[in-house]
Structure 1
Amino acid sequence: MQVVSKTLSAAERAYREIKERILSGDLAGGELVSENEMAAELGTSRTPVREAFLRLETEGWMRLYPKRGALVVPVPSHEAEHVIHARYIVETGAVDALTRIARAGLIPRLRESLDRQRELADAGDLDEFAIVDADFHREYVVSADNPLLIGFYDSLRERQRRMNSVALQRGETNPHHIIEQHTRLADLIEAADAAGFAEALAVHLTDVHGVTLRGV
């Protein structure tokens, strides 16, 4: 019984580490990873890695090829478009629904996040920046106090984070430019300018991810 527990624990650790590498962009889309190489890197046997690969394939992050390894599935262009469009609908809806009291409590948290983003950008810590970036947008979704919107938005979080990491690591966008746009979004929220926010968010999402929002 104890041996099974240790095996499951090793598999869970392998799963979390490999998934983190995918989300952070350390394992790039299109990269083929072998069980032996990953097991050596993680300091474990092949069995936990194999279990992790199977789990990640089920979740759609990997595609397994017998005797060759696991392919990290790239972000499909249509998926990026769908994620960005879904985010736009949820985020603009959330900001439009903010009450005066909710907005007053939200603004200090957004300003604090902007300070943290500047620290990370100056330090060149792109992995942590991608996480804080995602959290910045989540702040105003949560402040709208709609559990259904929050749950749906959180279901996009991992894909959102991976897309942020990929964009930053490819140099497709500059973190300081992102901060400028985030500051603009925070200013518009504080001014209760929902229409201006929607327009600025569309520009921001297009700039960062290179996806044109249809119908916006």
Structure 2
Amino acid sequence: MPAAPPASPAARRTGPKPPPAAERVYSHIKEAVLERRYEGGTLLTEGDLAVAVGVSRTPVREALLRLEVEGLIKLYPKKGALVLAVSAQEIADVVETRLLVEEFAARKAVPASPRLIARLDELLAEQSALARDGDLAAVSVADRCFHAEIVRNAGNQILSRLYDQLRDRQLRMGVAVLEAHPDRIAANITEHSELLDAIRSGDAEEAARVVRRHVGRVRVLVRGEDR
């Protein structure tokens, strides 16, 4: 059987296609909002965004419409897009939903499989390493991944999808808390360790109690009510 002809130089140079312009704008804005580089109250203009990403205004409009549907911005014709601040009601709603889901999942995690324990150990070590690097956005992502792993382990796909819908709001609140209260990085790691110990030991009620105390602190801290 004859060998296939070698690829042409042009074919060899062809790599994966870059994402569409609107997707690049969307990712740029969303990442900046979640990491609070675009804070609540910031007015974004199509022209500035087009220059920042290196695209025309048409994909910028498309990305902004998508982000408005997700509740991260509010469009004002001929003015721009206002980054929406996290409201007290949103904080209360997210924390209430997290408590309902995560307390249930913590109880369901007991008795825990060796796979779950190993994965939680791994995520806890990753969070500790990121904390040493001081990357608050990455720490917030790792924090959420720890909780999401327990929720996924509950085996309820509807509940897991509901929890996934909270992702963006959780990350944004998480970065806000860590910026205002840097000491919470170490505290969160300690509380995650306590939760893992409760799950490892087979104490479902203690796991739920740790979750209730740990998640409940978010509402207090984001509202600036820490005393």
- TM class by shorter-chain length? 0.7 to 0.9
**Mapped partners of 1:10, 1:38: distance in 2:** 12
TM-score, normalised to structure 1's length?
0.87
Gapped runs of 5+ residues in structure 2?
A: 1-16, 223-227
Gapped runs of 5+ residues in structure 1?
A: 1-5
Counterpart of 2:85?
A: 74
- 1:114 pairs, out of 119, 124, 134, with 124
For the 8 Å contact 1:25–1:169, the answer to whether it is kept is no
- 1:178 pairs, out of 188, 191, 199, with 188
**Mapped partners of 1:149, 1:211: distance in 2:** 26
1:64 shift after superposition = 1.2
Counterpart of 1:42?
A: 53
1:83 shift after superposition = 0.9
**Mapped partners of 1:124, 1:99: distance in 2:** 33
- Higher Rg of the two aligned structures: 2
Q: Which runs of 4+ in 1 moved over 4 A?
A: none
How many residues of Structure 1 are paired with residues of Structure 2 in the alignment? 205
Describe the SS at the equivalent of 1:71. Answer: strand
Describe the SS at the equivalent of 1:29. Answer: coil
- 1:144 pairs, out of 154, 174, 179, with 154
Counterpart of 1:191?
A: 201
Describe the SS at the equivalent of 2:205. Answer: helix
**Mapped partners of 1:39, 1:199: distance in 2:** 48
Structure with bigger helix share is 1
Describe the SS at the equivalent of 1:74. Answer: coil
Q: Are residues 1:54 and 2:51 paired?
A: no
**Mapped partners of 1:169, 1:51: distance in 2:** 31
Structure 1 vs Structure 2: percent identity of aligned residues?
41
1:172 shift after superposition = 6.1
Counterpart of 2:134?
A: 124
Counterpart of 1:64?
A: 75
Q: Are residues 1:155 and 2:173 paired?
A: no
**Mapped partners of 2:221, 2:32: distance in 1:** 24
Q: Are residues 1:135 and 2:145 paired?
A: yes
**Mapped partners of 2:110, 2:205: distance in 1:** 15
For the 8 Å contact 1:110–1:186, the answer to whether it is kept is yes
Describe the SS at the equivalent of 1:44. Answer: coil
Counterpart of 1:84?
A: 95
**Mapped partners of 2:40, 2:102: distance in 1:** 27
Counterpart of 1:200?
A: 210
For the 8 Å contact 2:195–2:210, the answer to whether it is kept is yes
**Mapped partners of 2:219, 2:36: distance in 1:** 15
Q: Are residues 1:32 and 2:46 paired?
A: no
**Mapped partners of 2:197, 2:75: distance in 1:** 46
In 2 relative to 1, CA 152–204 (structure 1 residues): closer, same or farther, beyond 3 Å? Answer: same
TM-score, normalised to structure 2's length?
0.83
